[in-house]
Amino acid sequence: MTPMSKIVVLVTNLLCGFILVFGFYVIVHGHLTPGGGFQGGAVVASACALVVIAYGDKRVKERLSYDAFSAIEASGLIAFVGLGFFGLGATFFYNFLAVERISSLRWLFGAKALIGPNPGDINTGGVIPLLNLAVGTEVLGALSIVLLLMLMTYTPKRGEAEIEESTAGRRAQETGEKHETGGN
Amino acid sequence: MLWNIPYIAVVALIVLGLYACMFKSNLVKIIIGTSLLEAGANLFLITLGYRKGGIAPIFTNAPSTESMVLPVPQALVLTSIVIGLAVTALLLSIVVMIYRHYGTIDAKKVRRLRG
Amino acid sequence: MKKTIAFSALIVVFAFFLMAVAKMRPFGEPPMANVSTDWDIKSTKNSTWRSWHDVVNTMVDKDDNNDSEVEFTTRSSKSLVGKVTFASKTSYSGRSWMRINTRGGCWKSSGKIQDSFAGVQVYNKTTHKVAYYLDFPSPVKPGVYEWHRYERKIAINPSDTYSIRMVGIDKWKEHAVAAYWEYLNIEVSGEGQAPQETKFELGERAELEMDDYIIEHCQRETGANNVVTAVVFDYRGFDTLGEATVLFSAVTGVGVLFRRRKRWVKPEEKKQEA
């Protein structure tokens, strides 16, 4: 895949940070506003998709490693299953942190929630925000892995390969110089 | 009659999805039909859980807690959407493999088993 | 031509199946009977309330009997509030329903929250059994007033006599328990009546105990404001575990399919071979 023009690369550089922040906001505030683990993970994975499209084949293979995302995804699933075992005194997946059920862990998402419409306190929710983080990590790892797999095993046809070699070198030189001075 | 538009949309989505699955020979168009079928089924599940004058079941800055829409079908549909995504990803990767092996993605031409 | 006919027949069958499943009732429901004309309602002695403080102070139960039967007047023509007994004048064939619509709660002075309860009790005076009990959940703290809406539909026998009572019971008989409400609407209907016109109505309130319970108790038990997230991760967390496993195994399947192999026979070379 050839890298795209300078405008797309510049906009990607600007927007990636905002997309990541918005994605993690949707993940962490899953127990207060609409959203949660799966939705926020998809938003963060779209940032990875934007990078893959804008920078092209070679630069992405140098910087983003498939093994790192595989480790992120696996750790997300392990954390999700492991959090279920903590409440095993009552039941599997018991909300042991929720409404001050353990008084010493009140600082870890353990406050009581007001009943009825209220502005929403992030300290509430029990084990639900932790599960949101685990699932969000897993989903962003999974979707990024699918993209990177399809990129890594992409073999262009013979006609396309010649065009890529002639233009990719020139474009990579241009974008490379731009980024070295711009402080990527 | 005006309030039954979601059900009519469900019927339209499923019908279009079935048409694309049955009468098209391009493999990617068949996968698009599968995706339309999933969308129709998910919309049907959510529409069944509607109450008159209902509000989204979220208590943060809610206008009132008079009547809230049922939350359980929405939770089950979240699972269904993710499973649909998984099925679509596997189908598309199989189509990529078919293209590499046969050189074409016409469903009428990929019938013979080649070694 | 045959393809078009078969396909359109499939569309029509499927549309009717969908409408039947979604309960678009083309024949309507039997009409609700008017309570004041069709039923003999006797309400006991009158007393007027000036504020809900009076309700609470009078409804405190400290004895051993099972109810605190307090009588009070109606608030409007539509609502009947108080201890009422009713018996039907006309005989309905088939089943009959009573729909209770109330807004109220439970108040406790102090004490253990689990050992006392309050609610609305529908008592069958002919068979001397409790026909239905609607429980007002305990408040978060003692001395706190919370208001919740309830709507229940109860099957009743039209030849029996029923009474509706507000109940407040404390197990240890040390503290005060009260049930209070703002209105209590009773509607009665029965089958075998003439059906009304056809109606297509989307979104009539369904009788679903599970979803009503989840909406009422979500903030109390899980502390989350988002009911859908609480259902996905707390009430039904095991299904989410299955979903995460499905996603993981699908990505593993894609990884298996895209493995790199050394011998890739490209289509152009195969045609040259053949």
C225-257: pLDDT as tens digits? 999 999 999 999 999 999 999 999 999 999 998
What pLDDT does C25 receive? 45
Cβ contact, residue pair B65, A116, below 8 Å? yes
Residue from B10, B70, B85, B92 to probe the interface with C (highest C Cβ count within 10 Å):
B70
Q: Which residue of A has its CA nearest to B56?
A: A34
In chain C, the largest separation of any two C-alpha atoms, in whole Å, equals 104
pLDDT digits (tens, 9 = 90+) for A105-128: 888 888 888 887 888 888 888 899
| C242 in the same domain as C128 | no
| C54 in the same domain as C132 | yes
Least CB-CB distance to B60: which of A33, A38, A146? Answer: A33
Both tokens assigned to B60: 């943060």
In the B/C pair of chains, how many CB contacts fall below 8 A? 121
Q: Is C32 on the interface with B (CB under 8 A)?
A: no
- Tell me whether residue C133 is in a domain: yes
- Tens place of pLDDT for every residue, chain A, 184 residues? 788 899 999 999 999 999 999 999 999 999 999 999 999 999 999 999 999 989 888 888 888 888 999 999 999 999 999 999 988 877 888 888 888 888 888 888 888 888 878 888 888 888 999 999 999 999 999 999 999 988 887 776 665 555 656 655 565 565 555 444 444 4
Classify residue B24 as exposed, middle or buried by CB count within 10 Å of its CB (0-12, 13-18, 19+): middle
Q: Which residues of B touch A32 (CB under 8 A)?
A: 60
- Tell me whether residue A178 is in a domain: no
Cβ contact, residue pair A131, C220, below 8 Å? no
| C139 in the same domain as C85 | yes
| C181 in the same domain as C225 | no
Give the residue from C138, C169, C195 where a domain finishes.
C195
Q: How far is CA C154 from CA A84, C39, C94, C125, in A?
A: 39, 17, 14, 16
Cβ contact, residue pair C229, A128, below 8 Å? yes
Q: Which residues pair with C133 in a beta bridge?
A: C121
Return the closest-CA partner of residue A2 out of A170, A177, A114, A181: A170
- Total number of domains in chain C: 2
Q: Is B44 on the interface with C (CB under 8 A)?
A: yes
- Tell me whether residue C270 is in a domain: no
How far apart, in whole angstroms, are the C-alpha atoms of residue A27 and residue B59?
A: 18
pTM above 0.80, yes or no: no
What pLDDT does C260 receive? 74
Return the closest-CA partner of residue A123 out of A95, A100, A104: A100
Question: What does the buried/exposed string (b/e) look like for C87-116 if buried means 16 or more CB atoms within 10 Å of the residue's CB?
Answer: ebeeebeeebbbebbbbbbbbbeebeeeeb
- Tell me whether residue C201 is in a domain: no
Q: Which residues pair with C134 in a beta bridge?
A: C120
Quickly name the fold that domain B2-102 has.
Helix Hairpins (1.10.287)
- Tell me whether residue C102 is in a domain: yes
Q: Mean per-residue pLDDT for C15-35?
A: 51
What pLDDT does C232 receive? 93
Q: Which residues of A touch B60 (CB under 8 A)?
A: 32-33, 117-120
Query: At residue A38, what is the residue type?
Result: F
Interface of A with B in 82-121 (CB under 8 A): 116-120
Q: Which residues pair with B45 in a beta bridge?
A: none
- Tell me whether residue A1 is in a domain: no
In the A/B pair of chains, how many CB contacts fall below 8 A? 29
CATH number at residue C141: 2.60.120
Q: Which residues of C touch A152 (CB under 8 A)?
A: 258, 260
| C114 in the same domain as C73 | yes
Question: Which residue range forms the structural domain that includes residue C225?
Answer: 206-260
- Tell me whether residue C97 is in a domain: yes
Q: Mean per-residue pLDDT for B77-106?
A: 92
A137: left (phi over 0), alpha (psi -120 to 50) or beta: alpha
| C89 in the same domain as C42 | yes
- Tell me whether residue C146 is in a domain: yes
What ranges do the domains of chain B cover? 2-102
Give the residue from C195, C221, C244 where a domain finishes.
C195
Please check whether residue A97 is in contact with residue C128, taking contact to mean a CB–CB distance below 8 angstroms. no
| Residue with the two structure tokens 């927007």 | A15
| C211 in the same domain as C190 | no
- Tell me whether residue A162 is in a domain: yes
Question: Which residue range forms the structural domain that includes residue A67?
Answer: 6-171
User: In the sheet that C116-124 helps form, which strands lie side by side, from edge to edge?
Assistant: C39-43, C84-88, C162-170, C116-124, C129-136
Phi/psi at B65 (nearest 5 deg)?
-105, 35
- Tell me whether residue A177 is in a domain: no
Please check whether residue C134 is in contact with residue C119, taking contact to mean a CB–CB distance below 8 angstroms. yes
- Tell me whether residue A23 is in a domain: yes
- Tell me whether residue A55 is in a domain: yes
| C235 in the same domain as C181 | no
In chain B, the largest separation of any two C-alpha atoms, in whole Å, equals 66
| C188 in the same domain as C214 | no
